[in-house]
Structure 1
């Protein structure tokens, strides 16, 4: 009988930076090459834009640092604000929102690297602002023919990423590896600066 040895958790975490840095991710989110139409495009959009991917994962991870119910609400606040930002971006496009997207990724990176825990109201306001600027940027890309199916796909993709971040953070808490969130924050900072 051939038995394989389990990989220790600590050894697996040492490979996380290598995995993140070697994963091929091309930021295709804002090229304008393909008009966003349909559920599939909406679903894949947050996965193909590095800045949106990092922000959604970062919000989920950061939510696990916040205590109790307010922490669990942060992903919902992010998604709700993203939805509110869509019509704002469609009605009032501005390139300044892209700076807000980068700023949100960098701030989330710093918050994670410092294991920052904020009071409830500043937390909710910050995450709502992050969601609003991300929604605004997505809204500037919306075409009249994109429809509700694209928006549903976009929200689903973002929710899956935010949920993955939240689940990962909860697992880190369970395994008593909260310090790994610092590395995730540093990775967000590095990748945010490269995107």
Structure 2
């Protein structure tokens, strides 16, 4: 796997930066963006799921390397819009924990799903993550800035997952896949612990 395959994932994260970098936000926008950015990185459940999306995309390779993370971010934004509109989504916390378990299992077992199937799977889980992000938004946060924050943080976590897969593969061509699969299994077990309230 060459370094040029990381470009689509990193490009996804970079594509979200211009609207943030060139805006002149007011106080609510600034608070919203920082709060939004902090939400995904502030919870172990979100970090595990989003990094796993990147690792899963890396394992699939090809177009899935950028399509799978892009699908997650896009559908997560839709889930966030549902939360901001006050639309209830049942079993959000359970859905987040199950996303970690399922993604961890996919990585651990080296599942070779077609890109469309992988996109549908991560998209389903993204609804729960997006809804959780927006439902927990501070009242003082500007909605668009908050959404931009959690979308950028998510894209960066996906890129970290892709980078993890790439680096582990480079450290050892033979043991890299084993290390990645063990990490997926460990993350999946953490998801079980989160689901039962032990973590």
- RMSD of Structure 2 on Structure 1 (CA): 1.6
Counterpart Cα distance in 1 of 2:133 and 2:60: 27
Aligned residues: 159
Structure 1: gaps spanning 5 or more residues: 1-36
Q: Which one has a bigger Cα radius of gyration?
A: 1
Residue among 12, 21, 40 paired with 2:34: 40
Query: 1:71 is matched with which residue?
Result: 65
What is the CA distance between 1:172 and its match in structure 2? 2.4
Q: Which runs of 4+ in 1 moved over 6 A?
A: none
What is the CA distance between 1:162 and its match in structure 2? 1.0
Does the 8 Å CA contact 2:35/2:137 hold for their aligned counterparts? no
Residue among 141, 151, 160 paired with 2:156: 160
TM-score normalized with structure 2 length: 0.74
Query: 1:88 is matched with which residue?
Result: 82
Query: 1:169 is matched with which residue?
Result: 165
Query: 1:191 is matched with which residue?
Result: 190
What is the CA distance between 1:51 and its match in structure 2? 0.8
Counterpart Cα distance in 1 of 2:66 and 2:166: 11
TM-score normalized with structure 1 length: 0.75
Q: How does 1:20-39 map to 2 (within 5 A)?
A: 37-39=31-33
Query: 2:120 is matched with which residue?
Result: 125
Which structure features the higher share of helix residues?
A: 2
Does the 8 Å CA contact 1:93/1:140 hold for their aligned counterparts? no
- Secondary structure of residue in 2 paired with 1:64: helix
Counterpart Cα distance in 2 of 1:39 and 1:85: 17
- Secondary structure of residue in 2 paired with 1:131: helix
- Alignment deviations for residues 20-47 of structure 1 (CA, whole Å, 9 cap, x no partner): xxxxxxxxxxxxxxxxx42222111111
Counterpart Cα distance in 1 of 2:79 and 2:121: 14
- 1:116 matches 2:75: no
Query: 1:13 is matched with which residue?
Result: none
